[in-house]
Structure 1
Amino acid sequence: MDATDRRLMHATQAGLPLTLEPYQTLAEQLGLSKEEVMQRLNAMQADGIIRRIGAVPNHYKLGYRFNGMTVWDVPDEQIDRLGQQVGQLPFVSHCYHRPRHLPDWPYNLFAMVHGKHQQDVDAQIQHIAAVLGEWCRGREVLYSTKILKKTGFRSGQ
């Protein structure tokens, strides 16, 4: 990373500017071209400095009051295939393979769902259960009780 990359990182710590053309806005703020901003961000992502560039919605402000992390016990040898299928469902915002912690925690597939009403989330959970079919050996739903602070990169400088 050079000094320009560091300036770009600091300019995006709180997220991209909320403008119609955020890359252009960044370019103007930093005295760069829009193309250079995009190239530098892409290079930092390819190098693993940035994991991803994406929106982080506040589900509560959007009216989604029912947010549940569904946890599933599926066979380890099926986790990759099943995780891909669940992760591609349009209502799943996050899908992860996590280690089990036996004997108390048998769950290895996690999928976050959101709904404006409890029945919306219940229907989504049933849909995931149908996708998992015979491979589902158990499940739970952990509902959010508060909003956690969502932030991007923070530098000590």
Structure 2
Amino acid sequence: MSTSISKSEPATLSEQDRALILATQNGLPLVPDPWGELGEQLNMSADQVLERFQAMQESGVIRRVAAVPNHYRLGYQFNGMTVWDVADDAIAELGERVGELPFVSHCYRRPRHLPYWSYNLFAMVHGTSRDEVENKAGKIADVLGEACSGHTILYSSAILKKTGLRLRKQTDKN
């Protein structure tokens, strides 16, 4: 599970919310009823746990609660961050379309750093071969069409551990 904190506005966390985030920083309990398990740990009902997560998501404190699979263990040994030079007036619409492709695990806009880096759209794809990644990049190129003036693929060379924001437990000294 991944919990991501929004950067738009500072938020005040209740003690319950903070306890929930601390309890799930390493993932949801792998049990049939994770909300009930968390509730037992934190002296809350399963419904209260779910309501708190939904409220934090609605307020923007948490962007999402999601599974974070290990793509290497699933057989996807080739991982390419495709980067694209997309016309600024088309990037919002085209970025949405690329992000909706079933083989794109994440997609986002980034600033250009001219003259060294002209790419402003990033889309991560995974494959069982380099050819598969390049085929998927070709499908992205088809979506972008003439609005794209260049791209490349940056392949992973190491596995990096993905984690979201980590909260520290509060002590009397904090």
TM over 0.5: yes
1:57 to 2:88 alignment: no
1:6 to 2:18 alignment: yes
Tell me the residue number matched to 1:141.
153
TM-score by length of 2: 0.85
2:136 to 91, 112, 124: 124
Q: Deviations over 1:102-149 (max 9, x none)?
A: 011011111000011222111101111111111120001011111111
2:29 to 17, 41, 59: 17
1:150 to 134, 138, 162: 162
Cα distance in 2 between the residues matched to 1:67 and 1:9: 30
The alignment partner of 2:106 has SS state of strand
1:110 to 117, 122, 129: 122
Question: Is the contact made by 1:15 and 1:152 (CA closer than 8 Å) also made in structure 2?
Answer: no
Structure with greater proportional strand content:
2
Question: Is the contact made by 1:69 and 1:142 (CA closer than 8 Å) also made in structure 2?
Answer: yes
Unaligned runs of 5+ in 2: 1-12, 170-174
Quote how far apart the aligned CAs of 1:156 are.
2.2
1:81 to 2:93 alignment: yes
Letter in 1 for 2:19: R
Structure with greater proportional helix content:
1
Quote how far apart the aligned CAs of 1:97 are.
0.8
Letter in 2 for 1:114: H
Cα distance in 1 between the residues matched to 2:43 and 2:168: 24
1:67 to 72, 79, 82: 79
The alignment partner of 1:53 has SS state of strand
Q: Aligned-residue CA RMSD in angstroms?
A: 1.2
Tell me the residue number matched to 2:55.
43
Cα distance in 1 between the residues matched to 2:148 and 2:16: 49
Cα distance in 2 between the residues matched to 1:28 and 1:153: 24
1:34 to 2:51 alignment: no
Letter in 2 for 1:105: W
Unaligned runs of 5+ in 1: none
Q: Deviations over 1:18-51 (max 9, x none)?
A: 2222212212222211110010011112222222
Quote how far apart the aligned CAs of 1:74 are.
1.0
